[in-house]
Structures are given as structure tokens and as C-alpha cells.
Amino acid sequence: MEEIILDAYGKINLALDVLYKRNDGYHEIDSVMQQIDLKDTLILKKRDNGISIESNEKSIPLDERNLAYKAWRKLTDKAKINKGVDITIIKRIPVAAGLAGGSTDAAAVLKGLNILWGLNLSQEELMEIGREIGADVPFCIFGGTARAKGIGERLERIKGFSNKLILLVNIGVEVPTEYVYKSLGLNNKNMAVNVEELVKYIERDNLRKVAENMGNVLESVVIRDYPIIDEIKKEMVESGALGALMSGSGPTVFGIFDDESKLYSCKEKMEAKYKKVIVTKTI
């Protein structure tokens, strides 16, 4: 096999609670992560050594700062091999948007090179390597619906929550994850998320209750800088979403719908005002 083409799916957080800051500087979280069918496509082609990255997305770095590059570097170090790859990233997931766009590309490179180079690493081994690249990379390898603890790497599968209608609204500004965590004052956290309760409703497939119990403690930080996020959430619910929430460190807002016609009429309203409006579904 000379070449492999991979789907790299994005994610939303149905819940995100930040518990405390650890001594190593990372934050301990309790989260529910959900893969969505909005995806980048990666084409990996064998070459003797070295790496090249190209992309249709002009705002991402194509050098060692790209998470796909970091994935290649980590894998060659860990497996102690000297092989190269040409990577094409067709980007559809908005960048620095709370949708794990960079992490999922890194996950796809790890999975793809494992196959292309016949390394036979297990999913657990790939997730272990992924963790050193970024906190969301293990989930992007794991996929589906999962409760994520630790820095996001301790994953427990939650029974299927696929095919739920989702509308994403992105205001077109990049919000760096690091900035949001740094700005979060954990002492005066004014909102806790009942993740336990949410998981129960997901397992019962009670969409209305899921929508009611979603929560993200990072919202307040981003809303302080971009009050429009709160507006979008309200507008979505007024137009028929069962619930709406900011995903991850934002600024993307997602709405959950149980009715396709409501979803599309909401989409139309949102498109008149906001930069990127995307219909997707959970997988």
C-alpha cells in the first residue's frame, strides 16, 4: 500500500466540567465528548524519509507546529523508525473552534501511518502516543461517545448517541484553548455540570433531558469576550433547538434538534447573521 485516505471527524462536548489545576499545569476535567460527522480528509503517501504537509486551509501552519507533523514525529520516535510521509489535509472543521480540528488530524495520522507502515500498534498504544500530542487526541482515536476524565485521556465508552441532528454556528474568530483555560477562575466557578446525570439520560436516549442537562464551565470565560455566544444560544432555542451549548473552549455553539424542518429554518436564520453555519449529526 502506497497511499491511504482517512476521515478525521470533529467532536463536540455535551458536558465539560473543569475540576482543578494539577501540579503539572494541566486541568483535570470531567467531560462527555461526542464525535460528529463534520470531517477533515487526510491523504497520506509514503516517501523514503522526511515530511511535507499541504492544505486548502491557509491559516494553519504547515511545519513542525502542525499537529499532523507532531504525530508523524512522535510515531517515528516511539517506533524507532526512519520513514517519511507526504500529507494532504483537506480542512472542513473550523480552526481553533472547540471542535478538535487539529487533534483529529493528529489522530488520523497516527492511525493511518500504523496501517501504511504495518506497525501493528494497538488502539491503546496509539492513544498513549496521542496523549503526548494533545489532550483531545486519545478521544479522536477512540471515537463515538465517551466520558473523558483526567486531562481527557481517561475514556469510558457511553452507549450509542448517534444520528442526532446538530447545527453548528461559528462566529469566525479563533479562540486558543490555552487562553480559555488560563482565564478560568476555578475558585469562583459559578456553575457546576452534573455529568453523572447527563450520562444517565444519554444512555436512556432521552434527547430532551440530554439537551436540558448539557453544560460547559468554559462558556462564561468566552462569553465575557464574545457576548454574541450567549445570543446565538438563545436564538437557537427560540428557533426550536432542544438545547444549545458552546463546544469545548469555543467559540463554536451547537444546537441539538429533534426535528429536521426546525433545524433547517434555524440554519437559514443563522446564515443571515453568522459566518459559518454547518449542519451535522452525531456519529
* Residue 253 interacts with ligand ATP (CB under 6 A): yes or no: no
* Residue 95 interacts with ligand ATP (CB under 6 A): yes or no: yes
* Residue 143 interacts with ligand ATP (CB under 6 A): yes or no: no
- Site stretch for ligand ATP (CB under 6 A), options 43-51, 74-82, 94-102, 271-279: 94-102
Of the candidate residues 15, 71, 101, 253, the single one contacting ligand ATP (CB under 6 A): 101
- Site stretch for ligand ATP (CB under 6 A), options 65-73, 78-86, 232-240, 253-261: 65-73
Closer CB to ligand ATP, 97 or 244, in the complex: 97
Q: From the candidates 40, 136, 233, 267, give the one annotated as an active-site residue.
A: 136
Closer CB to ligand ATP, 65 or 157, in the complex: 65
Q: For this structure, is 275 an active site residue? A: no
Q: For this structure, is 7 an active site residue? A: no
Closer CB to ligand ATP, 87 or 270, in the complex: 87
* Residue 89 interacts with ligand ATP (CB under 6 A): yes or no: yes
Of the candidate residues 249, 255, 256, 283, the single one contacting ligand ATP (CB under 6 A): 249
* Residue 18 interacts with ligand ATP (CB under 6 A): yes or no: no
Closer CB to ligand ATP, 67 or 116, in the complex: 67
Q: From the candidates 11, 74, 83, 164, give the one annotated as an active-site residue.
A: 11
Which residues 177-206 are close enough to bind ligand ATP by CB under 6 A? 177
* Residue 54 interacts with ligand ATP (CB under 6 A): yes or no: no
Secondary structure of the chain as H, E, C letters: CCEEEEEEEEEEEEEEEEEEECCCCCEEEEEEEEEEEEEEEEEEEEECCCEEEEECCCCCCCCCCCHHHHHHHHHHHHCCCCCEEEEEEECCCCCCCCCCHHHHHHHHHHHHHHHHCCCCCCHHHHHHHHHCCCCCHHHHHHCCEEEEECCCCEEEECCCCCCCEEEEEECCCCCCHHHHHHHCCCCCCCCCCCHHHHHHHHHCCCHHHHHHHCEECCHHHHHHHCCHHHHHHHHHHHCCCCEEEECCCCCCEEEEECCHHHHHHHHHHHHCCCCEEEEEEEC
Which of 243, 249, 244, 191 lies closest to 225, judged by CA? 249
Residues that bind ligand ATP (CB under 6 A): 60-61, 65-68, 89, 95-103, 105, 136, 176-177, 248-249
